C-alpha cells in the first residue's frame, strides 16, 4: 500500500489526514495517510528513509519555504511563488516540489469577488502568504503586507493600522496561525471598526471553521470565508500531481 503524508509542526489540528483517509476509504484506493509532526525540517530525510512506500507529501506551517533547499527539483510556479506545499517522491527517491495553495486560494476566492474588490491586505509574511500574493498578482488585485516586525516588502506593522487604512483595503486575508485551534479566542490585532459590508475577510485557517477573525467580520457585515474550501481544492490538485494527472 502506498503512503502519503503531511509534514509540519504542531499539526494535530490538521484536517488533511481525515480528508484523505475518508477519500481513500470512499473511493477504495490503496493508500494511507500519516501526519509527520517534526521539530525541524532536517528530519525530512529520516522520514523518507524510514518510509519506503511514501510517494508524496503535503507541507504546512512552518516549513513551506524551509523545505525548498532539500528538494531535487521544483515546479516553475512553485519557484516563482517561493513556497512549496506539495512534494512528489519518485521511485528513485527524488523530491519535486509544487505549490497547490495558489490553485486552492484562487478558485475559492474568485466567486466572492465584486468589481470594488481591488485591493488587499495580507496579514503575515510566512510561506502561506507567498501563494496568496502570487494569486492576487494574477488576479490584478493590489496588495500590501502587514507584519509584527519591520522587514523588506512590508508596508505596515500591526501597530500602524488604523480604521482608515483598514477601510481602504476591501479584502483582508489572514495568513497567520493566530486563531487556530486550540487558541480559538485569539485573532489578528487589527482595528476591526474599519471593516464594512464592502469587505471580504478570508481566513486560511479552517479549524475552527468560524474563527474570531471571521466573527469580527460578520459583525461588521463583511463577506467571510474560511480556508476549508481552499484545503479541498488544493488537496485534489495535489492528488493529481501525485498520480501524474
Per residue in 32-78, pLDDT (tens digit) is 999 999 999 999 999 999 999 999 999 998 999 999 999 999 999 99
With 0-12 CB in 10 A as exposed, 13-18 as middle and 19+ as buried, what is 245? Answer: exposed
Q: How far apart, in whole angstroms, are the C-alpha atoms of residue 174 and residue 106?
A: 15
Regions of the chain with pLDDT less than 70 = 244-245
C-alpha cell at 173: 486575508
Q: What phi and psi, each to the nearest 5 degrees, are found at residue 2?
A: -70, 155
Active site residue 229: no
pLDDT at residue number 245: 44
Q: What is the sign of the dihedral through the CA atoms of 225, 58, 187 and 175?
A: negative
pLDDT at residue number 137: 98
Catalytic residue among 64, 106, 212, 237: 64
With 0-12 CB in 10 A as exposed, 13-18 as middle and 19+ as buried, what is 101? Answer: buried
Q: What phi and psi, each to the nearest 5 degrees, are found at residue 27?
A: -100, 5
Cβ–Cβ under 8 Å, residues 196 and 220: yes
0.85 cut: is pTM over it?
yes
pLDDT at residue number 39: 96
Amino acid at each position: 500500500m502506498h503512503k502519503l503524508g503531511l509534514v509540519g509542526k504542531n499539526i494535530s489540528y490538521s484536517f488533511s489526514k481525515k480528508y484523505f483517509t475518508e477519500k481513500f476509504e470512499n473511493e477504495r484506493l490503496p493508500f494511507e495517510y500519516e501526519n509527520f509532526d517534526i521539530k525541524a525540517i532536517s528530519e525530512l530525510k529520516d522520514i523518507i528513509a524510514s518510509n519506503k512506500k511514501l510517494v508524496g507529501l503535503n507541507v504546512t506551517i512552518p516549513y513551506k519555504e524551509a523545505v525548498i533547499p532539500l528538494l531535487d527539483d521544483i515546479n516553475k510556479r512553485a519557484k516563482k511563488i517561493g513556497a512549496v506545499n506539495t512534494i512528489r517522491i519518485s521511485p528513485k527517491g527524488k523530491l519535486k516540489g509544487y505549490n497547490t495553495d495558489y490553485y486552492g486560494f484562487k478558485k475559492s476566492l474568485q466567486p466572492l469577488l465584486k468589481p470594488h474588490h481591488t485591493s488587499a491586505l495580507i496579514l503575515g509574511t510566512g510561506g502561506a502568504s507567498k501563494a496568496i500574493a502570487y494569486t492576487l498578482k494574477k488576479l490584478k488585485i493590489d496588495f500590501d503586507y502587514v507584519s509584527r516586525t519591520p522587514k523588506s516588502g512590508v508596508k505596515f506593522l500591526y501597530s500602524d493600522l488604523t480604521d482608515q487604512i483598514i477601510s481602504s483595503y476591501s479584502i483582508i486575508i489572514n495568513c497567520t496561525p493566530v486563531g487556530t485551534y486550540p487558541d480559538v479566542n485569539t485573532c489578528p490585532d487589527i482595528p476591526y471598526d474599519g471593516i464594512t459590508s464592502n469587505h471580504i475577510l478570508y481566513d486560511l485557517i479552517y479549524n475552527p471553521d468560524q474563527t474570531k477573525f471571521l466573527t469580527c467580520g460578520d459583525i461588521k457585515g463583511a463577506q467571510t470565508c474560511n480556508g476549508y474550501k481552499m484545503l479541498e481544492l488544493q488537496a485534489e490538485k495535489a492528488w493529481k500531481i501525485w498520480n501524474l494527472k
